[in-house]
Amino acid sequence: MAYPSDLTDAQWAVLEPLLCRASKRGPKHADLRAVVNGILYLTRAGCPWRYLPGEYGQWTRVWSQFRRWSRNDTWATVLAALHEQARAAMGRERRPSMLVIDSSLARGASQGGVTFHDRGGPYGATNGAKRVVAVDVTGLPVGAIVVPASTTESRATELLLEHLAELGLTDRLELVLVDRGTTANAARVMSGRFGFEVRRVFWPEKSSVFRPLPHAWRVEVAHGRIGRARRLAKSFENTTASAAGWLHAACVNLLLAALAPA
């Protein structure tokens, strides 16, 4: 039985070479496509691991592969590669010259044990995690990280830029747009450190008329689209690696839909 979240043949043709190239170590599954489909099913449906349909094989097998890919940055590498392909398909340079970065808070709902969740957000009212996403001018995700909710917006932005630099995605960057959560001083420091402009964009607080900020609104749309993945309804994970893995999986799903629509 096929589920709506399953990859089409065209999507698998795009994704398979990237997974095999990015994940050279560890056991090789006889049916890697079923494993990936199982992960995407959980991403979209949001059910616990033990509720995974039998068509995808033993849940422990799918879980172990997801954990491996989350820990060794395979998801992040595949996300970056898919983004390059999507831009090339649009006739653009493979690497962006401008990014927009923003975060969203997710309430924690861990299943017990030690967790990275803590209190953050307005007045420290949210006990959970902060998801930080970067998109280009097309609105497609380039990279993403997950940090404790108490992490300041300035520090979260800096951590994401470090992550993108490690992946080699900042060589063409000229401008990064952030909101008022990033302080003016932090924006200046990051501009000097990374070699491109980090610009704060926002409407005055007293403005009574809402108008979308040019380009900046694209990251808000991206957060909304990513949020359709029900596994992200709350932060169910106890580690940042696992939480980032689900966020990356949701982003990968968006890019596959753009590259090879179902």
9-259: CATH topology:
Nucleotidyltransferase; domain 5 (3.30.420)
Q: Which whole number is the average pLDDT over 134-151?
A: 97
Q: Say what the pLDDT of residue 100 is.
A: 97
Strand, helix or coil for residue 169: coil
Q: Does residue 110 have a pLDDT over 80?
A: no
Q: Does residue 248 have a pLDDT over 90?
A: yes
Neighbouring C-beta atoms of residue 80, cutoff 10 Å? 23
Global pTM value = 0.93
Q: What angle do CA 70, 75, 81 make, to 5 degrees?
A: 160
Q: Does residue 204 have a pLDDT over 70?
A: no
Residue carrying structure tokens 């494993």: 35
Q: Say what the pLDDT of residue 113 is.
A: 75
Which comes out higher in pLDDT, residue 30 or 48?
Answer: 48
Say what percent of the chain tops pLDDT 70. Answer: 92
Distant-in-sequence contacts of 5-10, Cβ < 8 A, 24+ apart: 5/37, 5/40, 5/41, 5/43, 5/44, 5/45, 5/253, 6/37, 6/40, 6/41, 7/33, 7/36, 7/37, 7/40, 7/256, 8/260, 8/262, 10/260
Q: Say what the pLDDT of residue 24 is.
A: 54
Q: Does residue 260 have a pLDDT over 70?
A: yes
Q: Which whole number is the average pLDDT over 213-222?
A: 88
- Gap between the Cα atoms of 83 and 164, Å rounded: 13
* Contact of 141 with 255, CB cutoff 8 Å: yes
- Gap between the Cα atoms of 253 and 78, Å rounded: 11
Q: Which whole number is the average pLDDT over 210-236?
A: 89
Q: Say what the pLDDT of residue 121 is.
A: 86
- Per-residue pLDDT band for 1 (boundaries 50, 70, 90) equals low
Q: Which whole number is the average pLDDT over 98-104?
A: 96
